[in-house]
Amino acid sequence: MQNKGLIKLFAILFGLVSLYQLSFTFLAGKVEDDAKAYSEVKGVDSNARQRAKFERTYLDSVANKDVIDLGIAKYSYNDVKDKEMNLGLDLKGGINAILQVSVKEVLKSLSNDSKNVFFNQALDAADAKQKDSNDNYLDLFFEEFEKIAGNTKLSDPSIFGTKALSEKIKFNEDNATVKETLQEEINSSIGTAFEVLRSRIDKFGVTQPNIQRIGNSGRIQIELPGAKDIERVTKLITSKAELQFWEVYTNAEVQGFFFNANTKVAEILKDDTVLEKEKDSTKKDDIDDLLGEEKDSTNINQKNLFTYLYPNVAQSQQQMSSLVAQAKVLDTATVNNLLNRKEVRALLPKELRYVKFLWDYKTNKGVDGTELIGLYAIKSNRNDIATIEGDVILDAAQVFDQLNKPEVSMTMNSSGTKQWAKMTTDNVGKFVAVVLDDYVYTAPSVNTPITGGRTSISGGSMTIAEAEDIATVLKAGKLPAAARIIQAEVVGPSLGQESIDASIWSFGLAIILVLVWMILYYGKAGLYADIALIVNILFIFGILASFNAVLTLPGIAGIILTIGMSVDANVIIFERIKEGLFKKKGLKQSVEEGFSVKGALSAIIDANITTLLTGIILYVFGTGPIKGFALTLMIGIATSLFTAVFITRLLIDGAVNKGANLTFNTSISKGWFQNINVEFLKKRKIAYIISGAIILAGVASIFSIGLKQGVDFKGGRSYVVRFNQDMNATEVASTLKGAFGTAPEVKTYGTANQLKITTVYKIDEEGQEVDEQVQNTLFTGLKSYLGDTTYENFKPGFEKEGAGVMSYMKVEPTIADDIKTSALYAVFGSLLVVFLYILLRFRKVSYSIGAVIAVFHDVLIVLGVFSIFYKFMPFDMEIGQSFIAAILTVVGYSLNDTVVIFDRIREFAGIHTKWKYSEVVDKALSSTLGRTINTSLTTLLVMLAIFLFGGDSIKGFMFALIVGVAVGTYSSLFVATPIMFDTTKKDEKNV
């Protein structure tokens, strides 16, 4: 092998980089363990919500402190958190939601809630049609309007030809042109909703949030791993944006109050410190040790308001500003608490009685690098009603002034124009604030009254990005609809931690089984393969950490599968080397041939490419966990190919050069699978009958019993509820029938004290309040089983010490149809791509036909097994997204096996040109039997370990893989090859 030195260097450097990247995951875990310890000390006798708050407080306090010292570098918690490997919801807990901005509501808003009969009939028809269609809502509306409107156009004054849209839609304009304008407005509304949600999520405090638009569908996907306060998150992402315009006090007007408040706060903090120390001095000392705080009581007693808040003092007219103070981001909660205390509010003079303090939406760096945030004093009133609300905004955009500096252009409707004229007239020389969701986005000075309805907002240092943010905020004022959740998955932190523990245990056991088996079967060569396998695992996790990829339970399954493929590659190589040794070619020559293209490399590359193609299809069409599975599968294929071909080769070449006697077997495995000569083709009719009978039974079951569709395929709500005692699923279903009207589907989930409850109750009704009603109904129905558990503790989120909802999933029927369609595209797309690849590689249609029919055979059997047994098995056998991932994995594995066999048949056909073709096929199959059984057995051992000891949520997925691998091994020998033979144009009458 050439360039050994370069490969060694690359492997060492890549390994070191992987270890370096993974170290941040362990370091972040260490800090989070300290935070948990702090919350447990601070939260004695407190509930989970309070402990979560203390944990967050600790992490905030060390966010920018150097908590890790490696000698050569120091890192804050934020530093290591940014570099750690991300965990998915199923491992960490949190919420994943897809929100829909209603295009219908956008259209109604743009039409000023038109009463036009044709318009409203078209909307109703589009609603009905969308339930069974994946088409864009605007296309459906347009199609229906064209059918019924006759000569009426969309530009009619009673629809979109309104005064508000007069600059964008001309009178009597044709429908196609109006449609283009409407699409732009819809896209703008969706974009605005996206930006508003992103701004809210950035301020929520969850690390590594993910928010992205899903094409132009009006859907926005949000993932918040680690989020515990699910109720707060839900309100945050579903509430309508509140844009307001307020008058503000200047820094000069409030600085007197700040100085008086400073004195009062010093007294308050002194008293609070004494009370706290008397209350529990020992506990306080422990916490101080954890946070590294000073224990000097004198120093504590000297704290005041200005310890946390830095006033913007105005000593002259030129220093007048709408910014009244600044504070460290970490101190904002403390400042809010102090400024809202009754004793402090009592110091406000009469003219400041209703002042409301709001923070800036963005932060800035202080001179020492600390993150600071500005504070504004809003002129509120008794009823806390803004001077102008955001619904008066017609349009806003980032533009450039005459000096080519960025500014914001804003247009209001007639009502807003009058209000704005009065507000700006009353505040010439003063400031007004634009506030969204209680954050100040800009508070510019008013130079002259603005009476024309069109306003320019500018600032000397305003950047293009800031101007775009402000324009987005202003447009949010006319956001026609709050986004509603159409799909949601919530996993509680307790269930997430249990999944991590189960995954680590099962993953470790699976690895040990593989390592031991390889040594038992191949001896010293197996040890070299094990080393390559460990390096492969290191590389996979290192890459995941380097690219901040998300690791999920299906992702771990993907890694396990790539381990099987890595083993497969080594098995193929070792079996070819053993063939060379059996033919007395000598060790060095046998090794050379085993690693060559003419030896094992061709089959390995073909097998890996077919699986890679499956992974790509999965990644393109899949969502959520399926993408995670596909990503780890693709990474694993690349790393396993490198380690099996190069790392193993380096180790074996080193041993050979040193004169080691490698036999590639042990006293136990010596002689296994040698001199086998099975006449497979003569048994093909029996195999056809067996396969046909099993498939017929499965198809009959599918059409009679059906398949258990998961919530993500049929729509509905699914809750995993844990109780303090063992439960009877049938009894609970009967009890809940009274609450839901119809009996929900109830099944034991994992342990006997855990149930999975699935219902379609009110699934067609929209609104966040409906989700709350259904959850409350569930609680009421289960109350007799829950003991003293309160509704607050029953709801998902936070750690659970007793009964409660451990995880929750909701999918509306419309998006369930979309998910099913995407899944079908993924399955058929992968089959088509693989068919074409095999045709290109083997140059015969018969090879492609044999492979694809075998894959259909495997898929039908897996589906049949799931249909026949789903009512009897003690774990979930739902057909959902994860099942589709399993099916496509089976497709990949089956093809992998088949391609290796086909590669050997092609090789034998080229060497033994005088043999009958049936003999060529039988001999080729017999020669690969050892590799087939060895690889399948190893892969099945790994999957059984995961199935038996992994988390409950992955058992159905792993069962599908186990059945698929077993059937795929059988079909590659008894289905794919015989069908390939039968469809090959060979003149053989007697086989």
Q: What is the DSSP string of 407-465?
A: EEEEEE-HHHHHHHHHHHHHTBTSBEEEEETTEEEE--BB-S---SSEEEE--TT--HH
Q: Supply the pLDDT for residue 695.
A: 92
- Averaged pLDDT, 311-321: 81
Question: Both tokens of residue 622?
Answer: 């899949």
- Helix, strand or coil, per DSSP, at residue 36: helix
- Averaged pLDDT, 34-40: 77
For 728-756, how does the pLDDT look when each residue is reduced to its tens digit (9 = 90+)? 888 888 888 888 888 788 877 767 788 88
With a cut of 80, say whether residue 553 has pLDDT above it. Answer: no
Q: Supply the pLDDT for residue 234.
A: 76
**Listed residue (873, 896, 428, 826) closest to 629, CA to CA:** 826
Terminal Cα-to-Cα distance of the chain (whole angstroms): 43
With a cut of 70, say whether residue 412 has pLDDT above it. Answer: yes
Question: Both tokens of residue 475?
Answer: 């447009």
Q: Supply the pLDDT for residue 298.
A: 39
- Averaged pLDDT, 416-428: 89
d(CA 914, CA 905): 14
Asked if residue 312 lies in contact with residue 270, where contact means CB atoms within 8 angstroms, the answer is: no
Which residue has better confidence, 494 or 858? 858
CB neighbour burial string for 492-527, b if at least 16 within 10 angstroms, e if fewer: bbbbbebbbebbeebbebbbeebbebbbebbbbbbe
Asked if residue 651 lies in contact with residue 531, where contact means CB atoms within 8 angstroms, the answer is: yes
d(CA 125, CA 162): 23
Asked if residue 749 lies in contact with residue 765, where contact means CB atoms within 8 angstroms, the answer is: no
Indicate the range of 97-106, 229-238, 445-454, 536-545 predicted with least confidence. 229-238
- Averaged pLDDT, 517-527: 84
Beta-carbon contacts of 648 under 8 Å, excluding residues fewer than 6 positions away, are 528, 529, 532, 570, 573
Which residue has better confidence, 101 or 427? 427
Beta-carbon contacts of 774 under 8 Å, excluding residues fewer than 6 positions away, are 717, 759, 761, 762
Confidence of residue 346 (pLDDT cuts 50, 70, 90): very high
Q: Nearest 5 degrees, angle CA 264-CA 267-CA 273?
A: 140
Confidence of residue 294 (pLDDT cuts 50, 70, 90): very low
Q: Supply the pLDDT for residue 323.
A: 92
For 127-155, how does the pLDDT look when each residue is reduced to its tens digit (9 = 90+)? 888 776 667 788 888 888 988 888 888 88
d(CA 745, CA 717): 10
With a cut of 60, say whether residue 8 has pLDDT above it. Answer: yes
Question: Both tokens of residue 246?
Answer: 């307020």
With a cut of 60, say whether residue 279 has pLDDT above it. Answer: no
The DSSP output letter for 807 is E
d(CA 798, CA 801): 10
Q: Supply the pLDDT for residue 378.
A: 93
With a cut of 60, say whether residue 415 has pLDDT above it. Answer: yes
Which residue has better confidence, 618 or 205? 618
- Averaged pLDDT, 489-498: 65
- Averaged pLDDT, 770-782: 85
Determine what percent of the chain is predicted with pLDDT higher than 70.
86
With a cut of 70, say whether residue 789 has pLDDT above it. Answer: yes
* Highest mean pLDDT, choosing among 233-237, 520-524, 609-613: 520-524
d(CA 788, CA 252): 55
Q: How many CB atoms lie within 10 A of CB 2?
A: 6
- Averaged pLDDT, 77-83: 77
Beta-carbon contacts of 29 under 8 Å, excluding residues fewer than 6 positions away, are 84
With a cut of 60, say whether residue 286 has pLDDT above it. Answer: no
Q: Supply the pLDDT for residue 520.
A: 85
- Averaged pLDDT, 648-657: 83
- Averaged pLDDT, 65-88: 74
Confidence of residue 479 (pLDDT cuts 50, 70, 90): low
Confidence of residue 801 (pLDDT cuts 50, 70, 90): low
> Hey, what amino acid is at 757?
I
- Map tokens 């309805």 to a residue: 453
* Highest mean pLDDT, choosing among 55-69, 101-115, 220-234, 651-665: 101-115
DSSP β-ladder status, 804-811 and 484-491: antiparallel
Backbone phi, psi, residue 714, to 5°: -115, -10
Asked if residue 748 lies in contact with residue 716, where contact means CB atoms within 8 angstroms, the answer is: no
Q: Supply the pLDDT for residue 527.
A: 87
Q: Supply the pLDDT for residue 671.
A: 66
- Map tokens 């009704």 to a residue: 765
Residue 47: alpha-carbon gap to chain centroid = 28
Beta-carbon contacts of 177 under 8 Å, excluding residues fewer than 6 positions away, are none
Question: Both tokens of residue 477?
Answer: 């004022």
Determine what percent of the chain is predicted with pLDDT higher than 90.
6
Beta-carbon contacts of 521 under 8 Å, excluding residues fewer than 6 positions away, are 665, 666, 668, 669, 672, 934
Backbone phi, psi, residue 716, to 5°: 135, -170
Beta-carbon contacts of 377 under 8 Å, excluding residues fewer than 6 positions away, are 248, 249, 253, 254, 324, 352, 355, 356, 357
- Averaged pLDDT, 27-49: 72
Beta-carbon contacts of 254 under 8 Å, excluding residues fewer than 6 positions away, are 324, 352, 355, 377
Confidence of residue 357 (pLDDT cuts 50, 70, 90): very high
Q: Supply the pLDDT for residue 348.
A: 92
For 945-966, how does the pLDDT look when each residue is reduced to its tens digit (9 = 90+)? 778 776 666 778 788 888 988 8
Confidence of residue 59 (pLDDT cuts 50, 70, 90): confident
> For 870-877, which contacts have Cβ atoms below 8 Å and span 24 or more sequence positions?
870/707, 870/708, 871/705, 873/959, 874/748, 875/749, 875/750, 875/952, 875/955, 875/956, 875/959, 876/747, 876/749, 876/756, 876/952, 876/953, 876/955, 876/956, 877/708, 877/956, 877/959
Asked if residue 673 lies in contact with residue 933, where contact means CB atoms within 8 angstroms, the answer is: yes
Q: Supply the pLDDT for residue 291.
A: 45
- Averaged pLDDT, 185-199: 78
With a cut of 90, say whether residue 694 has pLDDT above it. Answer: yes
Q: Supply the pLDDT for residue 689.
A: 93
> Hey, what amino acid is at 958?
M
Polymer length in residues for the chain: 991
Q: What is the DSSP string of 900-928?
A: HHHHHHHHHHHH-TTS-HHHHHHHHHHHH
**H/E element holding 607?**
helix 602-621
Q: Supply the pLDDT for residue 690.
A: 92
With a cut of 80, say whether residue 88 has pLDDT above it. Answer: no
d(CA 328, CA 330): 5
Q: What is the 3-state secondary structure (H, E, C) of 687-746?
A: HHHHHHHHHHHHHHHHHHCCCCECHHHHCEEEEEEECCCCCCHHHHHHHHHHHHCCCCEE
With a cut of 60, say whether residue 702 has pLDDT above it. Answer: yes
Confidence of residue 293 (pLDDT cuts 50, 70, 90): very low
**Listed residue (220, 254, 252) closest to 237, CA to CA:** 220
Confidence of residue 815 (pLDDT cuts 50, 70, 90): low
> Mean pLDDT, the chain, as a whole number?
79
- Map tokens 């099945």 to a residue: 940
d(CA 225, CA 269): 36
The DSSP output letter for 350 is G
For 370-403, how does the pLDDT look when each residue is reduced to its tens digit (9 = 90+)? 788 999 999 998 888 888 887 788 778 888 887 7
With a cut of 90, say whether residue 696 has pLDDT above it. Answer: yes
d(CA 566, CA 604): 10
Backbone phi, psi, residue 45, to 5°: 65, 20
Confidence of residue 347 (pLDDT cuts 50, 70, 90): very high
Q: How many CB atoms lie within 10 A of CB 582?
A: 11
The alpha helices in 801-954, defined as continuous H runs, are 813-842, 845-869, 881-911, 917-949
Confidence of residue 819 (pLDDT cuts 50, 70, 90): low
d(CA 746, CA 750): 13
